[in-house]
Structure 1
Amino acid sequence: MPDPLPRLETRCLIRPADLPPSRDDFEVVGTFNPAAVQLDDGSVVMLVRVAERPTETRDGFVASPRYNDLGEIEIDWIDADLVTTNDPRMAIFKDTGFKRLTFINHLRVVRFASDGVTITKVGPIVDYRADHATFGLEDPRITRIGSVYAVTAVGASHHGVCTVLLTTTDFTHFDDLGIIFCRENKDVVLFPEKIDGHYVAIHRPTGKFEVTQPEMWLAYSPDLHFWGDHQPLWGSGDGAASVGGSSGSWDDGRIGGGVPPIRTERGWLKIYHASCKPGPGEPIGVYAAGALLLDLDCPTRVLAASPDAFMRPEEDFEKIGFVKAVVFPTGYAMQGDDIQLYYGAADTNVGVVRYRLADLLDSLVPVGTPA
């Protein structure tokens, strides 16, 4: 299905071959889901999730790398008869259902010129060592709040997945504020300014006790450390019910905050990702992107929403990869009247797509109004 919103330009910015692994006996299998922020001089800084795995293979075994207590990578070799590997991202134990990743993650700094697409420097790996991130850091987001850049990222370990917060002023030195949303919570994005005296986050709690479709929630904090006043914001299928669209068919699998909220004259533009339920034999469904418009003073109030996904996998590099058919927007930069969205493609590549901001805003339908 083609995009309902016309793309002005699409590029594959970074592929696995473009970034070196952290060690010689590993290979990069994914460079994707990048956090991105535009600096005052117009240049763009990106934190790219890099997934790598050992090049060594052993018959009858599955490799699962992890960081040990010293921050060094160790490889556990799991008996292949004990696990299923239908999902290439993980080995799932047959007896317990517990999962181990088949790769390990780190974040790497990449800098771009003011056009947002020309790489000027590939920087260092973000050094992060913690018991709640023994499989590395994943899926970062960057929000500028005053003079500080706040980075949320997912820590993955045998404890599950949680969200940690880092702050930086130069993307060279990072301060660790620790876990801000514990397991199982991810896809956390921060608003770029306080609302009614509080920091505000959109997060995505999940759990095994499922009584509803996946949802995004809001939370508030006085200091970025402690979060409360949790309340649901938007869930899978809400678009179909509220704006007369077909949201239930494209977002009934997963949903989560994608790009940090963008202040516009009409309200907070919130671009999010979602996936449909997988078909028979498929590990996950197709990932696409939608958008919301939230009230500037009361972000719990949804003013308008996409009647359907405005961005779907179209290009080969979005359809073919480590996980097929994924567009996963995670950052943005402005180029005049256009918005450049940075996204993970097929859990393999970094892409950028450009839209007219006005077209995107105009495509949203007031909540409660038939499309």
Structure 2
Amino acid sequence: MSARFPEDRLVFLPKDVDLSRSPLAGQLPAETYVLGTFNPGLTRLPNGNLLMMVRVAEALRQPEADGYIRAIRLHAGRYRLDAWPLDLVDTMDPRKFMIRGQGWKVMALTSLSWLLPVECTPDGLDIVAIHYDRAIAPQGDWQCYGVEDARISLVDGLYLMTTCSVSPERHSTTLYISENGLDWQFADIVLDHQNKDMLIFEGRIGGQYWAQTRPLGDLYFAYPPESEWRAGPSINLATSPDARHWKPYIKPGLRPHVAAAATTRMGGGTPPVLTEKGWLTLWHGVAPSGVVGIYRTYWSLLDAKDPSITVATDHGALLEANKALTAPLADQMYVQDVVFTTGIADAGDHFIVASGEADLACRITHIPKACFGL
């Protein structure tokens, strides 16, 4: 247990998944295994329990065979394997492979992700039930390479879940809706190509839904040399009358600061929750290191009426990868120094925070509200 927080532990691991109940079960001519169970969306159910919507990355046990590397893809309602010649790909990153000679960056994944609802006790520390019958799997061409990284917000009694859907058509944000937090219906694509980490605020502002977004690209225009900001991926804002049709907000949101070298790249973490001092948002910053980088969790408080205004923030990390937690899983580790926070729930004098640890397991941390000046 971390000395900094009263509770900090891994609560759901790859071994906890029964692959005989996977959406892929019995469809592939090759053995699969759970590469990781991570990046869980988090919400409180009507019965008081917490729900983690866990990303299950299911991968081939032997992805390389006969001079080819294979990727899993949904096609016409069934899962199939695509084979790429090894001499055409770069396999440096264990999570994906890059395909050479395309004229631009083209990649495929070494796993396919689906979402598994895992019900926990009200403190998030113990598993109550694993709802395989309510798992969310790819439904069509727009998410043929998987459904990833759920974020759940409860707004006016309705559960709204954003996910990242992966396909050659587009890298889009998709919306699911539920009245009880367990039974989810696909609503629509709500953001188009490579707009990741969409987080819907847990409450409306001026009658409008608000969200944080993070458009990606390979080109960013420079700030002036004397600016306090650094060019690069940032957390933008958008508004909507119905949570389906989104308009970018004209003012910028959270941006990389020159004083924080560890946030060269940043993106949204938890859906913003309203406190007496404004909207609390946890987000991730990435420091360059090796192939993947070092992922840490940071926090900011945003103005209650205009979330483009930052009321308070901390350039020091709130959460870092906890190697003591993953030490027993050393033989399964494929990335290091990654904590990716994706869910938050109020628990009185503290928040229950859910993260993906090392793209491998689900981590629950109890963080006192005093850490945010609340």
What's the TM-score, normalizing by structure 2?
0.88
Match of 1:323 in 2: 335
Q: Which range moves more in the overlay, 224-233 or 81-90?
A: 224-233
Query: Which amino acid counterpart does residue 20 of structure 1 have in structure 2?
Result: D
Note the C-alpha offset of 1:40.
4.0
- Given candidates 51, 61, 69, the residue that maps to 1:62 is 69
SS at match of 1:234: coil
Match of 1:264 in 2: 275
| Overall identity of the aligned pairs, in % | 29
Q: Distance in 2 between matches of 1:331 and 1:86?
A: 30
Match of 1:218 in 2: 237
| Unmatched runs of 5 consecutive residues or more in structure 2 | 222-230
Q: Distance in 1 between matches of 2:178 and 2:352?
A: 23
Note the C-alpha offset of 1:175.
2.2
SS at match of 2:319: coil
Query: Which amino acid counterpart does residue 82 of structure 1 have in structure 2?
Result: L
Instruction: Tell whether the 8 Å contact from 1:116 to 1:333 is kept in structure 2 after alignment.
Output: no
Task: Please give the residue correspondences for 1:89-108 in structure 2 after superposition, counting only pairs within 5 Å.
Answer: 89-96=95-102, 97-108=105-116
Q: Distance in 2 between matches of 1:236 and 1:52?
A: 33
Match of 1:10 in 2: 8
- Given candidates 330, 334, 356, the residue that maps to 1:344 is 356
Task: Please give the residue correspondences for 1:177-196 in structure 2 after superposition, counting only pairs within 5 Å.
Answer: 177-196=187-206
Match of 1:365 in 2: none
Match of 2:226 in 1: none
Note the C-alpha offset of 1:348.
0.7
Note the C-alpha offset of 1:143.
0.2
| Unmatched runs of 5 consecutive residues or more in structure 1 | 241-246, 363-371
Q: Distance in 2 between matches of 1:41 and 1:173?
A: 14
SS at match of 1:359: helix
Instruction: Tell whether the 8 Å contact from 1:318 to 1:324 is kept in structure 2 after alignment.
Output: no
Match of 1:301 in 2: 309
Task: Please give the residue correspondences for 1:1-371 in structure 2 after superposition, counting only pairs within 5 Å.
Answer: 6-21=4-19, 22=22, 23=25, 25-57=31-63, 58-70=65-77, 72-96=78-102, 97-124=105-132, 125-211=135-221, 212-230=231-249, 231-237=251-257, 240=259, 247=260, 249-252=261-264, 254-278=265-289, 282-317=290-325, 321-361=333-373
Note the C-alpha offset of 1:159.
2.6
Query: Which amino acid counterpart does residue 213 of structure 1 have in structure 2?
Result: G
Q: Distance in 2 between matches of 1:68 and 1:232?
A: 39
Q: Which range moves more in the overlay, 8-17 or 99-108?
A: 8-17
Count residues with an aligned counterpart: 346
Note the C-alpha offset of 1:361.
2.9
Q: Distance in 1 between matches of 2:303 and 2:6?
A: 28
Note the C-alpha offset of 1:172.
4.3
Instruction: Tell whether the 8 Å contact from 1:199 to 1:220 is kept in structure 2 after alignment.
Output: yes
Cα offsets for 1:67-126 (capped at 9, x unmatched): 1121x2111121111101000111111212310001101001110122221111100221
Q: Distance in 1 between matches of 2:71 and 2:137?
A: 20
Query: Which amino acid counterpart does residue 266 of structure 2 have in structure 1?
Result: I
SS at match of 2:371: helix
Instruction: Tell whether the 8 Å contact from 2:45 to 2:180 is kept in structure 1 after alignment.
Output: no
Note the C-alpha offset of 1:43.
0.8
Q: Distance in 2 between matches of 1:270 and 1:297?
A: 15
Q: Distance in 1 between matches of 2:144 and 2:325?
A: 29
SS at match of 2:346: strand
Given the superposition, is the C-alpha separation of residues 169 and 322 from structure 1 closer, same or farther in structure 2, using an over 3 Å criterion?
Answer: farther
Note the C-alpha offset of 1:214.
1.4
Instruction: Tell whether the 8 Å contact from 1:191 to 1:199 is kept in structure 2 after alignment.
Output: yes
What's the TM-score, normalizing by structure 1?
0.89
